[in-house]
Structure formats: C-alpha cells, structure tokens
Structure 1
Amino acid sequence: MVYVFFATGFEEVEALATVDVLRRAEIDVKMIGISGNEITGGHGITVQMDAEMGSITQMENVEMMVLPGGVPGIDNLKASLDLKALISNGFKNDCYIAAICAAPSVLYDWGLIDQKKVTAYPNYLKQLDQCIQIDEAVVQDGKLITGKGVGVALEFALRLVSVLKGDAFSERLRAKMVMPTIESR
C-alpha cells in the first residue's frame, strides 16, 4: 500500500501523476486528505480523497508514503502533527518515504533527512544545508526518494514503481506510456 498525502494548495501534476502511474502499475494507492475528504490544489483543481488523515489507524501494510510539493501545500503538510508522527514512524520502520519539489523541505524542517542525499526544487534545495544536495531529476538515498519538481513528476513516479515492482516492470510501463528516458541534470 502507498499513501499519497494531499494538503490544500498541493501541486496537482506532482500528486496526480504519481497516483496515476502507481495505479497503472497496479499498486494499491490511497489518496489521503490532510484536512478533509476533498482537497483543492494550488491551481484550483479539487480532488476527492480515498480517505482522511484522521481515519488512518494502522501502518502495517504501508510500503511507501509520498509528499507532493506545491505552495501553500507544503506549509499545510508541515502543520500536520499527525502527518509528522506518521512519517517519522515510517522512517523508523523502514518504509519508503518520497517527496518531490518543495516537499523535501517538510522532511528537512521536521529533522528527518539530515545528511541524506536529496534533490528538490532549486530554491528549496539550497535551503537543505544539512543534506547532501544533488542537482538531479530524482535522487534515492536508501529508502528516501526525492524529485526535483513538476517537470520530472512522471520520472519520479516511475522510480517509485521501480523500487516497489522492479526496474524491468518500471521500464515496461515507461514503454507503454511512450515516455522517453530523461538524463539527470
């Protein structure tokens, strides 16, 4: 099971492309609303959630948790003490944690990724001064996966598929999606 967390002001492409690609890969994905059952993104798109944050009671089948970027979405993610506890627990229990664009700053501000290799949207990457900053599209450091921004959302999502279902599966899905391989920068 994968949880993708949505907060008001989320970046629609990062969140929905990730959910879409994971579902194409037949991975069980739940869209979790931080503050309700319908969440509106930064560009005015409202999305019906599969569940609300308050309904999450167990983590035993969760393999991965994903934080999309977007402003003010990341501020709303950061304000959720329940989410902070859940993500902290995920790190302790060897769960994959993924964040894209500005969202790695949430993990950083919570003190969870010091000395980890990360990428993020350029203005946010330079703020992660206790991390090992990598200027690439997608960076993986153990079970932490970070993406640079909206332009690499599909590449980010395919990396998540790769860690959950293997590289060969991810490459077959890439071919079905007619998606070229991008060079990391």
Structure 2
Amino acid sequence: MKFLVFLANGCEDVEALTVVDYLRRADIDVTTVSIHNTKDITSKSNVVISADANLTDIDADDFDGLYIPGGTKGAEALRDDDRVIDIVKKFNDENKLIAAICAGPIVLNRAGVLANKRATSFPDLKDQIDNVKEYVDDQMLVTDDNITTSRGAAVTVYLAMRLVEIIKGPEAIEKLEHGTQLECVEDYYGISYDYLSKEEN
C-alpha cells in the first residue's frame, strides 16, 4: 500500500502530520506531496514542512490511497487545483482509498465523489458540502465504502487509526494504541476508539 498526502500552504499542522506519523508507524509507505513549485510548505501555524515530492514529480497511478488534511487556506488551494481534482476523481473511479478531514472534504465535494456517499467535515463548512448523499452531523468519523471523512484536528488520531485499520487490520490498531499510549488516554477519559468511530454505512 502506497499512500499519497497532499500538502498546500495553510494546511493544518496536526491534521497533516499526525496521519503521516501514524501511517508510517504502521509501516505504510507514505509520500507527502506539495502542490506548489517548492517542496517547502508553510502550515497554518507557520511551521515549514518539507514535502517528499512536488506534484509534478509523481505518478498518481503508483499510489493506492490519498489523504487531504484541513486548514481552510490549504484545503481551498487543493480544491482550486485541477490536477488534484482529477486525481481524486480517478482514485474514486478505481475505488481507491480516499480520506479527508476538517476543511479537506471541500476538495472531495468539488470532485463530485461524495454524491453517493455519507460524509462529514468541520461543522462551519457544512454549507460547502452541498454535493453529498447525506451530511452526517452527529459522528466525528464517517466511512462510506472507499471514502473516510472526519471533523477536525482533535479527531485526527482516530482518523489515522481508521485508515490503519482499513489497510492493516485490527492487530495494527492494538499496536498503535500501545505504542502511542493512546490506550491510557482512553482509559483515563473513559472513551474508546470504537465509540469515536461509530458510523456505519
């Protein structure tokens, strides 16, 4: 499994890097890709992130899944990039794994891939997700077939875990919970991955 993570100036730091970290912890091959002329991305919090490649350097056919982080300015830049939209459409046509969080689903909305899907996003952007089968208000993490969407930065860990679960199975989730000590956080606060990731189709 090779995973593509799109990055643009203004991307949300936690949403971009947490998913990369968790996927790589699970031994999933991740390539971060800048849509700009430089590999250096300036995040929403003014952190410089060096992407692995520029969009012009990669062949999207080499990848099995893609992820779009939030951060309104970053997501808008991705939404307005026709190259990104074409890749999202192609991935969906081929039933490849697609994920987006927070403002990221506005990219999927423009690509038209949510028309037959249940999905969520950052609540303030609900009106921009207007080409969707069902907008989900009461769940933080929604998976419908090949597409997973989520609400915002605080849920990023659970989105990452959902992707690992889909790709590698439940045993990989157990290893992540222990390796990151998420199991202790869940015990302390009385929450669980299963609770946060309830959906379903």
Post-superposition offset of 1:80: 1.1
Query: Could you tell me the TM-score, scaled by structure 2's length?
Result: 0.87
Instruction: State percent identity of aligned pairs.
Output: 32
Measured in 1, the distance between the counterparts of 2:84 and 2:130 equals 23
Query: Could you tell me the TM-score, scaled by structure 1's length?
Result: 0.94
Using the TM superposition, name which of 103-112 and 70-79 deviates more. 103-112
Asked if 1 retains the 8 angstrom alpha-carbon contact of 2:112 and 2:131, the reply is no
Q: 1:100 maps to which residue? A: 101
Pairs within 5 Å for 1:27-176: 27-35=28-36, 36-60=38-62, 62-131=63-132, 132-134=134-136, 135-176=138-179
Post-superposition offset of 1:65: 0.2
Q: 1:8 maps to which residue? A: 9
Pick the structure with greater CA Rg.
2
Deviations 1:78-107 (A, max 9, x none): 121111111111011111000001111111
Q: Which amino acid aligns with 2:70?
A: G
Q: Which amino acid aligns with 1:118?
A: A
Measured in 2, the distance between the counterparts of 1:167 and 1:118 equals 23
Cα RMSD (Å) of the superposition?
A: 1.5
Between the two proteins, the alignment pairs up a number of residues equal to 184
Asked if 1 retains the 8 angstrom alpha-carbon contact of 2:88 and 2:111, the reply is no
Post-superposition offset of 1:64: 0.9
Write 1 or 2 for the structure with the bigger share of helix. 2
Asked if 2 retains the 8 angstrom alpha-carbon contact of 1:6 and 1:15, the reply is yes
Q: Which amino acid aligns with 1:168?
A: E
Q: Which amino acid aligns with 1:155?
A: Y
Q: Which amino acid aligns with 2:18?
A: A
Measured in 2, the distance between the counterparts of 1:175 and 1:146 equals 25
Asked if 1 retains the 8 angstrom alpha-carbon contact of 2:89 and 2:112, the reply is no
Measured in 1, the distance between the counterparts of 2:60 and 2:121 equals 29
Deviations 1:95-150 (A, max 9, x none): 10000011111111222211311111111234424421222121100000111100
Q: What's the secondary structure of 1:72's corresponding residue?
A: helix
